[in-house]
């Protein structure tokens, strides 16, 4: 992996790691189980995947469509000796390349905002075993529609909690902005071509214009014990 790409991922992972406390909070709202099987859909470079595998003690399948992100995850698994705990899979969602499970816990942090909540719930229902759980991290708007979709797909809501705009600034964007400034300074104030942080600079500008857009919500849901009719 080229050094510029590695620097990019290391910065994103370090700052994203500050949000991992909220993933841990969501996981701990699920009743304790021994070595649950887990599936992380849209895992990126596996910041949450690694956290969840260590918390749960079981095997985890980590899925993402981006080749570079999965490549970085494989590097991290080798570095931390976790290759026997986490299986990376490069695949879009949906895909027949994803091991079918079913799984005790399915995690989707941000994926449903990309592929659509309706489509995402079809996939989550597909992979969660009966009486299993899902952790969904998504944007705040559309709560009533999402609750209706949970019911339609045989789930009930256990818990939810919101990360407000201050949390996103304090736990992510402060770190990211400072790291990008240091990245630029290390290159004598210039920027690489192409700039690896174009999207992130735009996100920070968007935050400053409208912080309220950056609220998000965790849903912890459980699949009912009987098959959907």
Among the listed residues 98, 64, 60, the one whose alpha carbon sits nearest the alpha carbon of residue 82: 60
For 164-188, write each residue's pLDDT tens digit. 999 999 999 999 999 999 998 887 6
pLDDT (tens digit, 9 = 90+) per residue, 24-56? 999 999 999 999 999 999 999 999 999 999 999
> Would you say residue 3 has pLDDT above 80?
no
Q: What's the pTM?
A: 0.93
Q: How far is CA 167 from CA 20, 25, 28, in A?
A: 12, 14, 19
């Amino acid at each position: 992996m080229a050094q510029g790409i590695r620097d990019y991922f290391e910065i994103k992972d370090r700052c994203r790691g500050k949000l991992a406390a909220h993933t841990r909070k969501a996981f701990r709202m699920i009743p304790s189980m021994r070595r649950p099987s887990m599936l992380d859909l849209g895992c990126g470079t596996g910041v949450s995947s690694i956290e969840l595998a260590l918390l749960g003690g079981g095997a985890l399948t980590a899925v993402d469509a981006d080749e570079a992100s999965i490549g970085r995850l494989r590097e991290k698994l080798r570095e931390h000796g976790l290759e026997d705990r986490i299986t990376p899979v490069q695949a879009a969602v949906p895909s027949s390349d994803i091991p079918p499970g079913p799984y005790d816990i399915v995690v989707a942090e941000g994926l449903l905002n990309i592929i659509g909540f309706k489509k995402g719930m079809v996939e989550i229902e597909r992979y969660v075993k009966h009486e299993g759980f899902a952790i969904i991290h998504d944007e705040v708007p559309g709560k009533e529609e999402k609750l209706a979709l949970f019911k339609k797909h045989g789930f009930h809501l256990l818990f939810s909690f919101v990360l407000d705009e201050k949390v996103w600034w304090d736990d992510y964007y402060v770190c990211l902005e400072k790291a990008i400034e240091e990245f630029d300074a290390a290159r004598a104030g210039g920027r690489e071509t192409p700039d690896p942080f174009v999207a992130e600079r735009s996100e920070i500008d968007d935050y400053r214009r409208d912080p309220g857009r950056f609220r998000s919500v965790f849903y912890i849901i459980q699949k009912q014990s009987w098959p959907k009719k």
